[in-house]
Amino acid sequence: MEAGSDTAQLGLREAKKQETRQLISDHATRLFIERGFEETTIAEIAAAARVAKKTVTNYFARKEDLVLDHQDEFVAALARTVAARSPGESALASLRRAFEATVAAQDPVAGFAGPDFTRMIAGSPTLSACLRGLHDQREQALAEALADAVGGQRSDITIRTAAGLLGSVHRILFQRIQELTLAGNTNDEIAGAVAGEAARAFDLLEPALGDYAVA
């Protein structure tokens, strides 16, 4: 009985932590959109969420973490797709299939974040620089996954080039989704446009990478 009670208490504490984290993140996003990222302080976010300033920094080590709270998922996405590719499937084919699925789902991690959020990112030098860094980290993680896939070293020029090409296509398509969002298009309109553009972009890589890193 005591063990079950302890487990229940742990579950409640974890749920409370997640609730507090989400509360802080929601208030921070609202303030960033209203006032701008650079102009909003941690103290203002804490006051809006009715928590101590230290509580905010305990949950979010950096101010930009309040905005880009799915960054771990973003960085790991391409590498995980390659690692989980089906037998007979190349790295390119798996990434293409996965991207098509994210567009169909209008996944926020792929860039479907809505006009207010996208405008906030574009208008902040800090967040724009952070996003570029996340794209770089994602490419590095992809290079490691490709190295494992082909049994090579990440420093190998072929692996680095393949990761660069595949990472660049995803970076460009992410930016394209942002551009179309800022131009006033709906998510449905963006998904329709990007689906065709992505097909042409991935087609360009087929001659070089169509048979690369086949599972």
Q: Count the Cβ atoms, other than its own, within 10 Å of residue 171.
A: 18
Per-residue pLDDT of the chain (215 residues; tens, 9 = 90+): 455 666 667 678 888 889 999 999 999 999 999 999 999 999 999 999 999 999 999 999 999 999 887 899 999 999 999 999 999 999 999 999 999 999 999 999 999 999 999 999 999 999 999 999 999 999 999 999 999 999 999 899 999 999 999 999 999 999 999 999 999 999 999 999 999 999 999 999 999 999 999 99
For the four alpha carbons of 151, 152, 158 and 162, in that order, the dihedral sign comes to positive
In this structure, CATH architecture of domain 71-209 = Orthogonal Bundle (1.10)
- CATH superfamily of the domain spanning 2-66: Tetracycline Repressor, domain 2 (1.10.357.10)
- In the chain, domain spans: 2-66, 71-209
Asked if the domains 2-66 and 71-209 are classified in one and the same CATH topology, the answer is: yes
